[in-house]
């Protein structure tokens, strides 16, 4: 008999899958489930729906097939490698945990995350944590302005405090029945938030050793935690960003929704919104209808996309 299950943990050589009854089984990969055109170091990832064969005498099953993925997020297997590592598959929501202070998340980092989510076609959620620390003069206005900026573009934004519990209920309501991937710089409170959302979990927080690695060479593996009301959170310890997506120069503007909308009014079809006459985007930046920080994030991704060799990961998309 064949069983379908979801991969909830990847421990390197083996996986843990959970079936519809909630039973967890350790399993191994049999065969090769490569994504066409993409060299990956792992054939199966957390979030994958898989077919399992009969368990052997030791209780271990073989994964005999991977169901088609709705989407997946990858990172480079290592800095120098051309191979990719699949971080997670079948994600409903990409959550960026950011902070306006202690530490400060840069707008470039936020915008790069949002553009990457657009490129992967995964809905994004912006969570500003540690709002209990916004006590300086002007802090409330800053939070309001940032929430207004991203909401006006169409993103969902929630300000929370994992420490005091403020707005954790709205976050839990939003995440209900979704599979959400949590990303963000170390120290922003991802683990504390996951603990607040999954009662009884008690993961270790404030781990300084993890904050020193770049996420490129670590052997930490993704794991999915069940939300009590349905759905799950995928935590990717040691991975700060949210996958890699190598943007094609002419497509960068497609991943900035407010810029993309305006670009229809540019004089030239192939306007890069950098120097061309009759550019509706630059006009909107000058008139403060597009935020300068968003425009400068756009320019920085555009510049990177124009660098030689920028397209070497695109084959699999």
SS3 21: coil
191 forms part of the interface with Mg ion (CB under 5 A): yes
> Which stretch, 32-40, 56-64, 88-96, 184-192, contacts Mg ion (CB under 5 A)?
184-192
CA dist 196 and 72 (Å) reads 26
> Are 97 and 130 within 8 A, CB to CB?
no
CA dist 10 and 32 (Å) reads 17
Q: Which does 154 bind (CB under 5 to 8 A by kind): Mg ion, ligand GDP, Zn ion, none?
A: none
Residue 294's φ and ψ, nearest 5 degrees, are -65, -45
Q: Smallest distance from the beta carbon of 211 to Mg ion, in angstroms?
A: 8
Q: Which does 76 bind (CB under 5 to 8 A by kind): ligand GDP, Zn ion, Mg ion, none?
A: none
Q: What is the pattern of x (binds Mg ion, CB under 5 A) and - over residues 288-317?
A: ------------------------------
Can you say how many angstroms the Cα of residue 111 is from the centroid of all Cα atoms in its chain?
Answer: 12
Q: Smallest distance from the beta carbon of 191 to Mg ion, in angstroms?
A: 3
Q: Smallest distance from the beta carbon of 16 to ligand GDP, in angstroms?
A: 22
Q: Which does 163 bind (CB under 5 to 8 A by kind): Mg ion, ligand GDP, Zn ion, none?
A: ligand GDP
Instruction: Please state the length of the chain.
Output: 317
Binders of Zn ion in range 226-285 (CB under 5 A)? 266, 271, 273, 279, 281
Nearest CA to 147 out of 156, 138, 139 is that of 156
Element housing 66 (H / E): strand 61-66
Q: Smallest distance from the beta carbon of 199 to ligand GDP, in angstroms?
A: 16
Positions that interact with ligand GDP (CB under 6 A): 129-130, 132-133, 161-163, 184, 186-192, 205-206
Which of residues 96 and 119 has its CB atom nearest to ligand GDP in the complex?
Answer: 96
Torsion-angle region of 29 (φ positive above 0: left; ψ -120 to 50: alpha; else: beta)? beta
Q: How far is CA 124 from CA 90, 111, 120, 265, in A?
A: 14, 11, 10, 27
Tokens linked to 179: 């599979």
Q: Smallest distance from the beta carbon of 264 to Zn ion, in angstroms?
A: 10
Q: Smallest distance from the beta carbon of 160 to ligand GDP, in angstroms?
A: 7
Kindly state the number of chain residues that form the binding site for Zn ion, as judged by CB under 5 A. 5
**For 188-242, where are the alpha helices, taking DSSP H only?**
190-197, 208-211
- Contact set with Zn ion (CB under 5 A): 266, 271, 273, 279, 281
């Amino acid at each position: 008999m064949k069983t379908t299950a979801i991969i909830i943990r990847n421990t390197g050589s083996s996986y843990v899958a959970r079936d519809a009854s909630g039973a967890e089984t350790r399993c191994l990969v049999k065969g090769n489930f490569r994504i066409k055109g993409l060299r990956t170091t792992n054939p199966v990832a957390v979030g994958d729906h898989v077919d399992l064969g009969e368990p052997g005498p030791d209780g271990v099953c073989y994964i005999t097939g991977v169901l088609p993925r709705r989407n997946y997020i990858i990172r480079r297997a290592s800095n120098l490698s051309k191979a990719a590592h699949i971080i997670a598959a079948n994600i409903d929501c990409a959550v960026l945990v950011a902070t306006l202070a202690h530490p400060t998340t840069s707008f470039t980092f936020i915008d790069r995350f949002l553009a990457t989510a657009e490129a992967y076609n995964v809905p994004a959620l912006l969570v500003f944590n540690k709002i209990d620390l916004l006590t300086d003069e002007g802090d409330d206005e800053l939070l309001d302005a940032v929430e207004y900026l991203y909401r006006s573009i169409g993103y969902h934004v929630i300000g929370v405090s994992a420490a005091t519990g403020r707005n954790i209920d709205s976050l839990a309501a939003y995440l209900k029945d979704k599979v959400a991937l949590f990303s963000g710089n170390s120290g922003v409170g991802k683990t504390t938030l996951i603990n607040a959302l999954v009662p009884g979990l008690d993961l270790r927080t404030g781990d300084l050793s993890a904050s020193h690695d770049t996420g490129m060479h670590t052997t930490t593996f993704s794991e999915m935690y069940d939300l009590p009301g349905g759905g799950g959170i995928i935590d990717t310890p040691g991975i700060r960003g949210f996958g890699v997506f190598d943007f094609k120069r002419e497509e960068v503007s497609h991943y900035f929704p407010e810029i993309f909308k305006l670009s229809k009014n540019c004089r030239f079809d192939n306007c890069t919104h950098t120097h061309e006459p009759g550019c509706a985007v630059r006009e909107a930046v000058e008139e403060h209808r597009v935020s300068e920080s968003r425009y400068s994030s756009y320019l920085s991704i555009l510049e990177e996309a124009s660098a030689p060799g920028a397209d070497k990961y695109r084959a699999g998309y």
